[in-house]
Chain A
Amino acid sequence: MAEHLLSRRGRLWAWTTQEFPPPAPPYAGPTGTAFVPYGVGYVELANEVKVETRLTTTDGLTIGMAMELVLVPFRTDDDGNEVVTFAFRPVEEGAPA
């Protein structure tokens, strides 16, 4: 097996919103009044793979839209460190590849 770096860009293949906090455990993110609904979906990386991912927004999502990889804050751990995760955000028109 060899490591292969995946593309940072893809197209939104499927999406929904998560309006209620997932059961914890195993969910480790903010819950109760701290829970903020988030987008979740699959982004198709051309000729590679579709990856399930958080999305940076719950609005304006349409299947087929261009998306790019970002890192977003997820939670703060017990030592006060910020834990980040990967997500995809809509590509802004005219943004460089």
Chain B
Amino acid sequence: MDVAIVGVGLHPFGRFGDRTGIDMGAIAIRRALADAGVEWRDIQFAFAGSYEIDNPDAVVALLGLTGIPFTNVYNGCATAASVLALAADTIRLGEHDLGLAVGMDKHLPGAFSSDPRLYACPSWYGELGHFLTPKFFGMKINKYMHDHGISAMTLARVAAKNYRNGARNPNAFRRKPLSEEEILGSRMLNHPLTQYMFCSPDEGAAAVVVCRADRAHRYTDKPIYLRASVVRTRRLGAFEVHSPWLPIEETAGPTVDASRAAFEKAGIGPEDVDVIQLQDTDAGAEVIHLAENGFCADGDQEALVADGELEIGGRLPVNTDGGLIANGEPIGASGLRQVHEVVLQLRGHGGDRQVPGEPKVGYTQLYGAPGVAGVSILSV
């Protein structure tokens, strides 16, 4: 059973004072329903993702108590990818024809933290300050730069690109372009990553209406088909966050595994993709994920970035809406924001962010603690 996306909706990302995460979720859902031309009563099932809200399905109080199956999902920064994958699998099972995937979150500023014991890590690991994600990204890109000849300027250029794209996105959080010099000159947080190279936790929501592909034309004359929606977790030997130790032998991370599985399911390769949204927790993550998702070989990124190939008009447009760097990171929503952007691009509704040449295939990837990745492939 094939799956189509027939509606997308977004609540802007940023900081919204007293507006609750649930309110943002409801707004995104109503926009997605309107986009699909359906009512809440038509929705037969739903999945919702959030980190801060323990029961995001409570959003039905704002939409209507229809008694549908509505399940909550949390999978670290890969939450929204998991929400979409579950919604798509429900259609594929043949249980239901029309459903909803929504993600919503409202975070305080500052690095995410928790009790390490909840992650099978010893208390001392947290007491020492190791239970923190930004340093993992610092270590990973620092090593990658050493191993594959990537410069700090490349990181600054990637961040600058995302701020520039964010300036063209009315829904983005950070909409002011920043120069490479400002980015490099900002406060160092975890060498080599400076403050402006990192995304920031914030607030927002995104929703997607999915349906059976053979019924999609009832709702839209341009359905976007979900060719793959895959989630994978880390295998032993992968270099992941919150690892007090690692084995000597390295294995590929969950992003590589999810990417390969998704391309196989979709029956295409990276060369077929026209527009890409990658997890840019920081500028280094975007660089690494470009290779982990199969779009280039390790080390190619230095030339690709310098030549502008990751720009909206380039050969490999990445994070056309500004990514996490410009939109910020409301954990539950980010992956569905990526899907929202890809759907707009494939419909030709990207406005002044539109990738030229009528893109036909889009790709999204998320990665999060404690080592989970989600990939989706969409096409016209």
Contact = CB atoms under 8 A, between A and B. Distances in A.
Contact of B243 (A25, A52, A85): A52
In this complex, the interface size class of chain A, counting residues with CB under 8 Å from chain B, is 20 to 34
Given A29-B127, A52-B245, A62-B146, 6 more contacts: A13-B143, A14-B142, A18-B135, A23-B113, A26-B114, A47-B248
A88 interface: no
Q: Is the interface of A mostly helix, strand, loop or mixed?
A: strand
A16 interface: yes
A22 B190 CA distance: 11
Contact of A19 (B127, B140, B189): B189
A40 B248 contact: no
A14 B190 contact: no
Most chain-A CB neighbours within 10 Å: which of B123, B140, B191, B244? Answer: B191
Contact of B127 (A18, A28, A49): A28
A14 B129 contact: no
B146 A40 contact: no
A38 B135 CA distance: 11
Contacts of A41: 139
Given A22-B113, A26-B113, A49-B246, A42 B128 contact: no
B246 A50 contact: yes
In this complex, the interface size class of chain B, counting residues with CB under 8 Å from chain A, is 35 or more
A38 B142 CA distance: 16
A28 B128 CA distance: 7
Interface in B243-279: 243-248
A16 B113 contact: no
Contact of B190 (A18, A26, A85): A18
B128 A14 contact: no
B128 A17 contact: no
A50 B188 CA distance: 26
Nearest to A23: B113
List of 3 A-B pairs having minimum Cβ-Cβ separation, nearest first: A26-B126, A16-B138, A23-B113
Contacts of B142: 14-16
Nearest to A85: B128
B115 interface: yes
22 contacts: A13-B143, A14-B143, A15-B142, A16-B135, A16-B139, A16-B191, A16-B192, A16-B193, A17-B190, A23-B110, A23-B113, A23-B132, A25-B115, A26-B126, A27-B129, A28-B126, A29-B127, A40-B129, A41-B139, A52-B246, A63-B147, A85-B128
A13 B142 CA distance: 10
A52 B116 CA distance: 15
Contacts of A21: 129
Contacts of A16: 135, 138-139, 142, 190-193
